[in-house]
Amino acid sequence: MSTQKRIEQYLNQATRGLWGKQRMAVRQELHSHIFERMQHHLAFGVSADEALARALQALGKPAEINAGLLKTHTLPVVTRSLLIAGLMGGLLVSQAHNQKMVGFHQKMKLCTISTCSEGPITYFEADGLMKTLREQNVPATLRVEPDGGALLLLPEMHSTYFSPLNTVQKDGKIYLSFDELVTSLSIETAFNIRHLKNPEITFNTTTFRVGDEKHPFDATSTYRHLIAPSIYNQTGATVVWGPAASAIQTHALNIRRPAAAEGEVYALLQPAPANLYNTSVFEKAYTLQFSEVQKGTLHFKSATPQVNFTTLDARKPGSVVLKITGKINYWKSLPPYEVVQPSENHIFYP
């Protein structure tokens, strides 16, 4: 049985008894989790069959997931999809050498970052993150669960309560997955994220910033974690990350966005050569990089000297520019980005 058929069979069994848009939203959420876990295992050299087997094992038996979902079928679809994360427990546990530890208000050596395609997952030292929030007058409560997950409760936050964050313990300290926190916040009533460096996050009426000039924070992995599952759900394409992808991005590409606000973040997707991804699992792949608007301009590095821009659903391959909105709408199946088509007079090759 092919990889895709095995995934479809699992999704059908896990969502049996749900209907219409509700079933579609839950399937999308489950599919995203399977994709993330497969990406992780493939990056460490296991076969496609083994990567899928490990991903499904981490999720749990489809009958158990189905029973849990049916118990919550009267809840709003977004809340129910988040309960999946609670049913899965520690699904998004990563191996230590693929984690990037960031400590605020203290000096801390970064762990070795793997060169795998999916990039590192960002973890924050919990006490430092809590202190950062309190300094910005954002009251927060941290509750560590017996199974190792953690609930970080922020004012006005409803959905994340149901989604325990993965934690890592190192040298007696607890670290939280910041990438998972941002993804959870992205389905709140109102959500926005700006800036690659020291990102500013707004959900509902609460705003806070992570990192400062003294303790800078690069949120690249957070943005990747936010949009990669939606790209896969929409196109079936994986995203290629890391030094191998950067090595082919050698041509400067500037795109003018005169009406954009400073700090807006955009992504550039370009078709990836077959030697950069597992062609037995994915039909196609994109290299992925980010840039934020600075003085009305985006600065990218292209894999080709001239760029042909297209859309994600186009049959003819080409480069795609995404504006990162950050807001995910599971009910309407809207991704956290918008495709933009740069006009020719706004494209420059310096």
In a domain, 191, yes or no: no
Residue 126 near residue 142 (C-beta atoms within 8 A): yes
Domain count, the chain: 3
Shared domain for 171 and 256, answered yes or no, is no
In a domain, 306, yes or no: yes
In a domain, 51, yes or no: yes
Shared domain for 294 and 241, answered yes or no, is yes
In a domain, 214, yes or no: no
Give the E-state strand segments of 77-205 in sequence order.
99-102, 121-125, 141-144, 150-153, 167-170, 173-177, 191-194, 200-203
In a domain, 190, yes or no: no
Best CA proximity match to 227, nearest among 168, 163, 312: 312
For residue 271, the one-letter residue type is P
Rounded Cα distance, 342 and 308, in Å: 10
In a domain, 238, yes or no: yes
In a domain, 164, yes or no: yes
Shared domain for 9 and 55, answered yes or no, is yes
Q: What is the pTM of this model?
A: 0.70
| Residue that is last in its domain, among 88, 104, 121 | 88
Shared domain for 26 and 124, answered yes or no, is no
Shared domain for 118 and 69, answered yes or no, is no
Shared domain for 256 and 276, answered yes or no, is yes
Residue 267 CB: number of other CB atoms within 10 A?
24
Tell me the pLDDT of the chain (350 aa) as tens digits.
677 778 888 888 888 877 766 677 677 777 777 776 776 666 556 677 888 888 888 777 888 777 766 654 443 333 333 333 333 332 222 222 333 444 432 222 222 222 223 445 677 888 888 888 889 998 888 887 766 667 777 776 654 334 566 677 778 888 877 877 787 777 655 788 999 999 999 877 888 998 888 878 888 888 988 888 788 878 888 888 778 888 999 999 999 999 999 999 999 999 999 888 877 777 889 999 999 999 999 999 999 999 999 998 877 889 999 999 877 655 556 788 999 999 999 999 99
| Residue that is last in its domain, among 57, 88, 119 | 88
Provide the domain limits for residue 147: 96-183
Burial string for 149-172 (b: 16+ CB within 10 Å, else e) reads bbbbebeebebbbbbbbbbbeeee
Shared domain for 236 and 333, answered yes or no, is yes
| Residue that is last in its domain, among 88, 105, 135 | 88
